Structure 1
């Protein structure tokens, strides 16, 4: 257990620590002091003793305040931490961790903040339930999965900060909203349109960045949408959530592997980050590109309304695309990217096409 995780765990329990010369005195009942916590206290004893040495009365009640040394990845001063804690339901006891955004998350936050309307990174998963009881069971299982994974209890913070950060809540209950009856001929499309990413936005400062909305059609069937923000979950993550929901509903949740904290992946990636090496790589790759690839010459797109079109491919064409991808040893998405590149080349009048894409 990391030191920051230990302090977060202590902040939710009735435990007091005291220093007596080289000894660490721990006060708390047996219910709050389990074996994992005892091991963590022993591991971080030197750091705890050093912290206690700086206190006037020699006592530490971790629930009182989260301090900068408890959040080694955040790089925050005390005033910034206090501002963030003040926005959390439950205060410091509900703060598990704070750390920077991954580069991809930073880009998504930028587009969220600059969008005049809507948010292109609010995604949907369509749901149908056999009854209201099945909806309730699904919501309970989804809430269990959210509490299991740090990334699903994460909100973003950026105001008055030098860099945007993600804030992991210890508890982040699922919001489940009934939207009433769906009376149209196409009720699911009606529900989707109500929460279309062209005009719907999530509050990224409030965890979890998932919502379950539902309604009933004229035949009494229960239809729903799982809305989630791409900063905390992609389609691969959605598949994991589905599997874990099924395991919970089937009574097999104990067989699931232990969740991997997102902070561990982020910490490793930041340690390996070498901005100069990245710049040198792309500088060499794009050295002969002297102008951007602009479809129809349009450069300023920030703040403009977004339009979206969905086209279902003919089954025969879909099969040929997949067969071509298999023969080349690539994914169908790579074939679609090549098609987009050809289109951009025609629309921009350029033979060398450069564009960005969100990849796993």
Structure 2
């Protein structure tokens, strides 16, 4: 304004009416426009319609400045195709209120859109410092995602009358001796080799579907590349059964006739199955908030009707299809399922597929997990089974102590309700653990910071109830007293339950205390001969905030089991908080004992030995180069998460689809190629972690190490 400019104040009604807003830009000959990406998207649509039907007044814009929400560059394609990137210039600015609005800036060019770049937010403005840090407040390498922290002259003093929140979000900088503060933004970013930042999303809003972490913006970017799609957003909704689904909301151009089936088929060329929305909802326009941002709460909720899925309902036509449909309906908790509906589209995953196979066996219908993964509809699976000779697999029930010799049974102490040998995985862990007894090699600590009410009595009750239900939580190991290594299941145990109050500390002090506690806990190595091989520690961090930490020996809980145990703990705990006392835990009909029995059966099978002898005949050890003569300490070995760029990821998925293999097989091939290059030989041996759970109805709830 000091240079002769004029500030145009827009009325609320005009700001909510794209056509009126566009007319205002023409009438006032606005030269600099500051808008959210969502509001600009609607302006694009109106401008395109006016531009094609009128030759009168034109926009006078010199610059369009974006802010307020993440900018998906692909959404600018229609505008750039009409106007180019010089007049007006497009500038993306990332900012937050706590840093006096703006933090970074980045001019957007046509090549950014052409090359499929992500949400580029650029570089810091001159009076601010930016840090991309991990959970330990250490800088992450270029290309690795971390949380953005901001320091410098623009930083606010804090939140008015909110000392606790100020202490949590404004922390002392670990990089200067002076009293410089940093603001913890909660935003996930990464540095690129150019020195610019790419915005990846919110730390607390990462989406996970069927076990895969998903970037919703990547799906939206692919949708916007399709002819006829003007605007879109992809959201996650949970249905009545708690199954999380991707739902796409689309605004189509006039004359466009996309529908769910055709959209999914088109997206399959560039996205894996787990990133394909289950359904699409078509809108006249995307709802916006008063601030011009996408109003997610105003999006219509998807109906649970199967009519919205990819294919219309087709009833079972044969007894076999009806039998399979009943099984799918029970496992997926749906009233009716058409014979052409895709198992994974309906919410199926690897664990539910085990349940499908197990329930089919109960009805004397036999097929493998591999067959279910290959034939993903009822119609396809039924047609396949009708051409196959049924392979009946009978799994004998193993009674307590059924895997022991009579001599070993006689030696067992009175408080043991079952005992059985170790699985091979467990035996390896126990051996290496004893060989390196001082370093806590398999001493696992899992920790979560939770915003929730804490009731010590109910929490401890939930843990003890789970210990009573799951035998592995009452297990100890004896490697000296019997003819072979045994695990003993005790009738009762008391799980150690410790509480520390650190609520008086600042956020930074709490982090330092938790790191100190973790190092201290690592030194308190669990004794394999004493049950239980778990303990729970609570750190109180605020009135309704606490840190839940589970310490366990890896030989009793693998990754899936830890996640399952934590889920069950909080499910039971919440029921207790709500006053429920009955039916807190659904009984588990199988246990880790069943897995060990199956493994021993396989190990005793001659054809299994022959198979691996042939596979490993004349093998050679894969030599790897050694860059250091000293063995690094475990905590000194760095671990990095490196995100692939959009184009590389797309090409990998297309290659996997062309070869009809999972994406992980392509990555395994890359791993083997690297080993070949490093070792200089083509005969490579490496290892894989696989799921060894038995195909039983509740195998997803079995705790153990498989």
TM-score range, shorter chain: 0.5 to 0.7
Q: What does residue 44 of structure 1 align with?
A: none
Q: What does residue 293 of structure 1 align with?
A: 622
Cα distance change, pair 311–76 in 1 and its aligned pair in 2 (3 A): farther
Q: What does residue 428 of structure 2 align with?
A: 107
User: TM (normalized to structure 1)?
Assistant: 0.63
- Pick from 555, 559, 563 the counterpart of residue 235 of structure 1: 559
Is residue 2:685 matched to residue 1:354?
Answer: yes
Cα distance change, pair 202–266 in 1 and its aligned pair in 2 (3 A): same
Report the secondary structure of 1:98's partner residue.
strand
C-alpha distance in structure 1 between counterparts of 2:562 and 2:690, whole Å: 15
C-alpha distance in structure 2 between counterparts of 1:232 and 1:242, whole Å: 14
The structure where helix makes up a greater share of residues is 1
Cα distance change, pair 180–330 in 1 and its aligned pair in 2 (3 A): farther
C-alpha distance in structure 1 between counterparts of 2:446 and 2:662, whole Å: 22
Q: What does residue 672 of structure 2 align with?
A: 341
- Pick from 282, 296, 306 the counterpart of residue 612 of structure 2: 282
Cα distance change, pair 282–187 in 1 and its aligned pair in 2 (3 A): farther
Cα displacement string for residues 269-297 of structure 1 (whole angstroms, at most 9, x for unaligned residues): 323432643332222112242x3113226
C-alpha distance in structure 2 between counterparts of 1:167 and 1:279, whole Å: 29
Q: By how many angstroms is 1:165 displaced?
A: 0.6
Report the secondary structure of 1:127's partner residue.
strand
- Pick from 435, 441, 445 the counterpart of residue 120 of structure 1: 441
Q: By how many angstroms is 1:193 displaced?
A: 6.2
Q: Is the 8 A contact 1:152 1:209 kept in 2?
A: yes
Q: Is the 8 A contact 2:400 2:417 kept in 1?
A: no
Report the secondary structure of 1:185's partner residue.
helix
Report the secondary structure of 1:295's partner residue.
coil
Q: Is the 8 A contact 1:158 1:164 kept in 2?
A: yes
C-alpha distance in structure 2 between counterparts of 1:236 and 1:318, whole Å: 32
C-alpha distance in structure 1 between counterparts of 2:417 and 2:470, whole Å: 12
Q: What does residue 138 of structure 1 align with?
A: 459
Q: What does residue 55 of structure 2 align with?
A: none
Q: Is the 8 A contact 2:443 2:522 kept in 1?
A: no
Note the residue ranges of structure 1 that are not aligned, 5 or more in a row.
Answer: 1-68, 86-91
C-alpha distance in structure 1 between counterparts of 2:603 and 2:460, whole Å: 38
Cα distance change, pair 244–215 in 1 and its aligned pair in 2 (3 A): closer
Task: Note the aligned Cα RMSD (angstroms).
Answer: 4.0
Is residue 2:632 matched to residue 1:308?
Answer: no
Q: By how many angstroms is 1:240 displaced?
A: 2.7
Report the secondary structure of 2:639's partner residue.
coil
Q: By how many angstroms is 1:345 displaced?
A: 3.0
Q: Is the 8 A contact 1:127 1:224 kept in 2?
A: yes
Q: What does residue 593 of structure 2 align with?
A: 263
Report the secondary structure of 1:356's partner residue.
coil
- Pick from 514, 525, 535 the counterpart of residue 191 of structure 1: 514
C-alpha distance in structure 2 between counterparts of 1:81 and 1:222, whole Å: 46
- Pick from 530, 542, 549 the counterpart of residue 225 of structure 1: 549
Cα displacement string for residues 94-116 of structure 1 (whole angstroms, at most 9, x for unaligned residues): 21111101112111212211225
Q: By how many angstroms is 1:72 displaced?
A: 3.8
Cα distance change, pair 254–120 in 1 and its aligned pair in 2 (3 A): same
C-alpha distance in structure 1 between counterparts of 2:687 and 2:645, whole Å: 29
Say which one has the larger Rg: 2
How many residue pairs end up in the alignment?
280
Q: What does residue 487 of structure 2 align with?
A: 166
Q: By how many angstroms is 1:336 displaced?
A: 4.9
Cα distance change, pair 70–235 in 1 and its aligned pair in 2 (3 A): closer
C-alpha distance in structure 2 between counterparts of 1:189 and 1:211, whole Å: 21
Is residue 2:418 matched to residue 1:97?
Answer: yes
Q: Is the 8 A contact 1:142 1:245 kept in 2?
A: yes
Cα distance change, pair 175–337 in 1 and its aligned pair in 2 (3 A): farther
Report the secondary structure of 1:77's partner residue.
helix
Report the secondary structure of 1:296's partner residue.
coil
User: TM (normalized to structure 2)?
Assistant: 0.34
Cα distance change, pair 141–165 in 1 and its aligned pair in 2 (3 A): same
Q: What does residue 355 of structure 2 align with?
A: none
Alignment of 1:7-22 (within 5 A): none
C-alpha distance in structure 2 between counterparts of 1:180 and 1:333, whole Å: 44
Is residue 2:527 matched to residue 1:203?
Answer: yes
Q: What does residue 649 of structure 2 align with?
A: 320
C-alpha distance in structure 2 between counterparts of 1:264 and 1:255, whole Å: 21
C-alpha distance in structure 2 between counterparts of 1:333 and 1:253, whole Å: 40
C-alpha distance in structure 2 between counterparts of 1:317 and 1:231, whole Å: 38
Report the secondary structure of 2:449's partner residue.
strand
Q: By how many angstroms is 1:167 displaced?
A: 0.4
Cα distance change, pair 230–293 in 1 and its aligned pair in 2 (3 A): same
Q: By how many angstroms is 1:194 displaced?
A: 4.2
